Chain A
Amino acid sequence: MTDSIQAHADEKPAGLWRWVVTTNHKDIGTLYLLFALLMFFIGGTMSMVIRTELFQPGLQFTDPLFFNQMTTMHALVMIFGAVMPAFVGLANWQIPLMIGAPDMAFPRMNNWSFWLLPFAFSMLLSTLFMPGGAPAGGWTMYPPLVLMTGDAFPYLIFSIHLMGLSSLMGAINIIVTILNMRTPDMPLMKMPLFVWTWLVTAFLLIAAMPVLAGVVTMLLTDRYFGSSFFNAAGGGDPVMFQHIFWFFGHPEVYIMILPAFGVVSTIIPTFARKPLFGYASMVYATASIAFLSFIVWAHHMFTVGMPLVAELFFMYSTMLIAIPTGVKIFNWVSTMWRGSMTFETPMLWAISFVVLFTIGGLSGVMLAITPADFQYQDTYFVVAHFHYVLVTGSVFGIFGAVYYWLPKWTGNMYNERLGKIHFWCSVVFSNLLYFPQHFLGLAGMPRRIPDYAIQFTDWNQVSSIGGFGFGLSQLIFVYVVFHAIRAGRKAPARVWDGAVGLEWSVPSPAPYHTFQEPPKLADGQLQSEGV
């Protein structure tokens, strides 16, 4: 009996079909990560088109409609195709390993969560070839503009339904896994912080994604079935769309950053060789950010027309977010304070995250000031702000996580020298790319335009050069991963000598099935201990 269970447990079908029918959290995590990488390059290609066009004033390469399609599709692909699936991939690989679970709580549903994505994005990307072109009204899909999309319109809506369904099922799976699958020795307040941030993120997803599904359904009925949600002629209001959309949209922003907080909170203690400073305050700060994310949405709409009371409320509530975020920044810095620091590639990403995310956070506080936002809104300053938090924040967090756990996944070390080259190229070029956009924005250059006044040329050229450099640098990353799998030297079980956590108690590469019996926790095996 036991033998047959064991044999069953090790069964790993061969060939491509394995990846289609798999229910294994490690397989599905790999699929998510590879899919996210593919989308990162597709979305990245679109941003290259944007930066190429913006290299000079005037229209050189694209017509304005195609340019707008590129900005819209770049955002949708990067948000829903690259950043979110990458974090779900990390969750799939790591959460069961970190909490001592045999797999995710719903392994079949896990497969479906992933396998909806290729269909959703085939649908979305196919709109590029449709009459009228791809959606071009911006990823926020504001009516009435978005209702003028050509034949692509229903495909846009339905692809978002599919992505939403995927995220929702993924989130339910993750939240149930965390609540119900932990090894009995692990109470909530001893969970690794990556698991904590994902618990909160999953809650945000379950609360926010259905609202997005609802509001895009309203767009669909407004366009095809004569409803008047967003049409003032029938008593509705286009601004209502913005309210409902941003009620989803703001939690969505934190959905994309909280798991990165968890990654950084895991990497920094490892390479500072000190326990995380202020574990409990990190948990409470995460929960506070999640709560606040539901009451700040209209800061995306300060100039759209709102009663003064609402402007003030949303300004102050937005500024409150700086407090828990500041707690986190100070905790990371305090963790490094007097630590025995070494600077392997994951640590470089984590430290640059702390610095650069803080820049994005501070420009966020600037944008939160309502009267100041009246000047900044719809300029490149906003573009610079959210790229600092999303690229040098979320994406750098993802890179840090991949370098940190790649040896555990593949069993091989990556090449440290190449990893550092990838890091330094990325960090230099991304700042070259985004920092000048602050100046452009403050000088008055609007976002989402293919052409600009001649005085903006210099900084746009700097930004474009940074963009091309950043794009090319990512090819190094592909080579690093490929090289690690093919030719990396063998990694031990505990890859980093300062690392704590259950994932380091299994061999590298992690066996196909792990923790079929809940593990016992040894002393010092958890992040929270020693605080």
Chain B
Amino acid sequence: MSSVNDRYYVPHNSYWPILGSIGLCALFVGFARVLTGENIGSTLMVVGGLIMVLMLVGWFGTVIRESQSGSYNQQVGRSFRWGMCWFIFSEVMFFGAFFAALFYARVLSVPWLGGEGSGFSTHLYVWPDFLAAWPLLQLPDPSQFDVAKAPMAAAGIPALNTLILLSSAATVTWAHWGLKAGRRRQLIVGLALTIALGLLFLGLQAYEYRHAFTDLNLSISSGIYGTTFIMLTGFHGLHVTVGAIMLMVILGRSLAGHFTPLGHFAFEASAWYWHFVDVVWLILFTFVYWL
């Protein structure tokens, strides 16, 4: 046993990556065909999505089995931790692009269209009636886009959602304490609470979207305010969903008796990811809803 563990575990021959390439390619080609109005697009998407699910379950399943059989030494664990950190960093940069778009619009493009600074002549000759304001409820050219009636208020559901996500960060940390102290009950209850709070967040977010679409006429196509609102909250919601799925897997594994007080990388990775979506939400709440 120990002679195996001294060495860095190098797996041999895996079918999962090529399956993942086929699945992802089918998903994208299918989506492209839907967008260009060609046939079998949605079928291809479903097939590609199913292949991806199969791949993810298979690949992660293999890794979990290897981990449970003791194939991984501490150095492998360090690789996983580094890998997750860099992955989260890449996600930070991804959100950074969308926040950059938000700030560019708020600080530069909308005021310029309103005639500020070098935008003077654009304003004068193209859209002299446009008044710069944020949230943007009057568009430079209203004929191209269907503008929102009112902005999304920060009080109410968004504030409540902030509270929910912050509590979920506390519960996941409490679960971690339980795991480290060997109190499995606390681990399981903490994880279940975190998942429940995450799902509650998503439910409220869905309700808020319905309110935005039906009552406020606020959608992706209602000008740059709606565009940044939907894209930022949408991608954030997607990440909460992924985080919740990760935590559900962790809960399942905890119930199956996986993880030890000293070795529980998968738990840590999911918790880090959860904190990451939490921090994104705080920035989002501040700049998309509140200020």
**Chain A interfacial positions (CB closer than 8 Å to B):** 1-2, 5, 8, 11, 13, 20-23, 101-103, 105-109, 111-112, 115-116, 118-119, 123, 151, 153-155, 158, 161-162, 165, 168, 171-173, 175-176, 179-181, 206-211, 213-215, 218, 221, 224-229, 231-237, 239-240, 243-244, 247, 305, 307, 513, 516-517
* Closest A residue, CB atoms, query B4: A5
Min CB gap B41→A, angstroms = 10
Report A-chain residues with C-beta under 8 Å of the C-beta of B276: none
Contact A172 B221 (CB under 8 A): no
Q: Which 4 A/B pairs are nearest by Cβ-Cβ distance? A: A226-B221, A214-B97, A112-B17, A233-B141
Report A-chain residues with C-beta under 8 Å of the C-beta of B145: 226, 228, 233-234
Report A-chain residues with C-beta under 8 Å of the C-beta of B141: 232-234
Min CB gap A18→B, angstroms = 8
CB within 8 Å of A: which B216-267 residues = 219-221, 223-225, 227, 230-231
Of A165, A243, A307, which one neighbours B104 at CB under 8 angstroms? Answer: A243
Of A155, A165, A221, A305, which one neighbours B32 at CB under 8 angstroms? Answer: A155
Report A-chain residues with C-beta under 8 Å of the C-beta of B16: 108, 112
Q: How far is the CA of A123 from the CA of B44 in the complex (A)?
A: 15
A123 with B29, Cβ < 8 A, contacts A213-B94, A307-B117 known: yes
Interface centre among B14, B75, B105, B139 (most CB of A within 10 A): B14
Contact B101 A218 (CB under 8 A): yes
**B3 contacts A by Cβ under 8 Å:** yes
Contact B105 A172 (CB under 8 A): no
- How many CB-defined contacts (below 8 Å) exist between A and B? 212
Contact B82 A175 (CB under 8 A): yes
Report A-chain residues with C-beta under 8 Å of the C-beta of B79: 105-106, 176, 180-181
Q: How far is the CA of A143 from the CA of B18 in the complex (A)?
A: 34
Contact B101 A240 (CB under 8 A): yes
Report A-chain residues with C-beta under 8 Å of the C-beta of B31: 154, 158
Q: List 24 A-B contacts (CB under 8 A).
A: A1-B4, A5-B7, A11-B12, A21-B18, A23-B12, A102-B8, A103-B10, A105-B79, A111-B17, A112-B17, A119-B22, A158-B32, A162-B25, A176-B83, A181-B75, A181-B79, A206-B86, A221-B227, A224-B35, A227-B230, A233-B141, A235-B113, A240-B104, A240-B109
* Closest A residue, CB atoms, query B98: A214
Contact B13 A227 (CB under 8 A): no
Report B-chain residues with C-beta under 8 Å of the C-beta of A8: 12
Min CB gap B100→A, angstroms = 6
**B213 contacts A by Cβ under 8 Å:** no
Contact B97 A234 (CB under 8 A): no
CB within 8 Å of A: which B77-132 residues = 78-79, 82-83, 86-87, 89-91, 93-98, 100-101, 104-105, 108-110, 112-113, 117-118, 122, 126
**B156 contacts A by Cβ under 8 Å:** no
**B140 contacts A by Cβ under 8 Å:** yes
Contact B83 A236 (CB under 8 A): no
* Closest B residue, CB atoms, query A114: B17
Min CB gap A257→B, angstroms = 21
Interface centre among A102, A109, A214 (most CB of B within 10 A): A214
Report A-chain residues with C-beta under 8 Å of the C-beta of B101: 218, 229, 240, 244
Report A-chain residues with C-beta under 8 Å of the C-beta of B179: none
Report B-chain residues with C-beta under 8 Å of the C-beta of A228: 144-145, 221, 223-224, 227
Q: How far is the CA of A101 from the CA of B9 in the complex (A)?
A: 11
Min CB gap B228→A, angstroms = 8
